[in-house]
A = this chain, B = another copy of it.
Amino acid sequence: MQQAIAVLDSGVGGLTVVRELMRQLPQEKVIYFGDTARSPYGPRPAEEVRIFTRQIVDYLFQFDPKMIVIACNTATAVAIDDIRTHVPIPVLGVISPGARAAIKSTKSGIVGVIGTEGTIRSMAYEQALRTISPGIQVYSEACPLLAPFVEKGLFDAEEANAVVEQSLRPLVGKPIDCLILGCTHYPFLTDSISRVMGTEVTLISSADETAQEISTILSHRGMLAASGVMPIHQFFCSGDPELFKQIAQSWLRELISIRPVVWQVPNII
């Protein structure tokens, strides 16, 4: 199937899913939309995030994708059910794959979750974990500073360490043996997070796990791209295209072209 996988995020965070997609499924074409003009989604009301997500999905549908990936934990938490009833193709979020990987990884049955205020408030990870494995214990913590920090494109190690250390302080010393990076922006900060949490805590990237789950679903539905065709990916963003391009090229380690999109609807409802 030569149609693309459409990936969306509030900004650049979903690029962590895209990098893994490009690595794990090198034959799949990706169309990416980063809603950088309206990032972050974390502090926004759920209804607003639902409307924004629906708008991006409608935009992406002009390219006739074979699958929608909501590569944003906040949007997955509040909008995935709505999008699933809205479109006739498979819709994947980033929460269930992370939850499943944590269940596989944990030995103690006690896991940590970090995410935006919206994700943590929604209790979506607790629900996903306990639906599968009711005995799991969860410590969760909202880290509102982290996603905006990544969106700025600043990766000064010392500054990153300081903001990560402050954000994770409530989880340090808790008896968790794995920590779900419940925001697709967080893999940009893996080194700092790992330093703060220590080597005994396994970090679960919802981005890596989502790429593997995309592979599983496409494979079981007979929808994998045919062999031998090297795809050309497409990137769109609603905010500053130069900043997006700079972050994307540095993260994906390849040159990309980016098309800016100006929303015809008000920025904030």
Contacts and interface: CB of A to CB of B under 8 A. Distances in A.
A131 interface: yes
Interface in A196-248: 208, 211-213, 215-217, 219-220, 224, 227-228
A134 B20 CA distance: 16
Contact of A133 (B26, B96, B217): B26
A101 B215 CA distance: 10
Interface string A129-157: 01111110000000000000000000000
A90 to B, nearest CB: 8
Contacts of A213: 216
A220 B26 CA distance: 24
A24 interface: yes
Interface of A: 20, 24-27, 90, 96-97, 100-101, 103-104, 130-135, 208, 211-213, 215-217, 219-220, 224, 227-228
Nearest to A25: B132
A103 B228 contact: no
Nearest to A211: B104
Contact of A212 (B104, B208, B227, B228): B104
Contacts of A100: 24, 212, 215-216, 219
A220 B220 CA distance: 11
Given A96-B219, A217-B220, A219-B96, A26 B212 contact: no
Most chain B C-beta atoms within 10 Å of own C-beta, residue among A20, A26, A224: A26
A224 to B, nearest CB: 7
B220 A134 contact: no
What 8 pairs between A and B have smallest CB-CB spacing?
Answer: A216-B216, A104-B212, A100-B215, A24-B103, A213-B216, A24-B104, A26-B133, A134-B227
Contacts of A220: 90, 217
Nearest to A230: B134
A215 B100 CA distance: 7
Nearest to A226: B131
A132 B212 contact: no
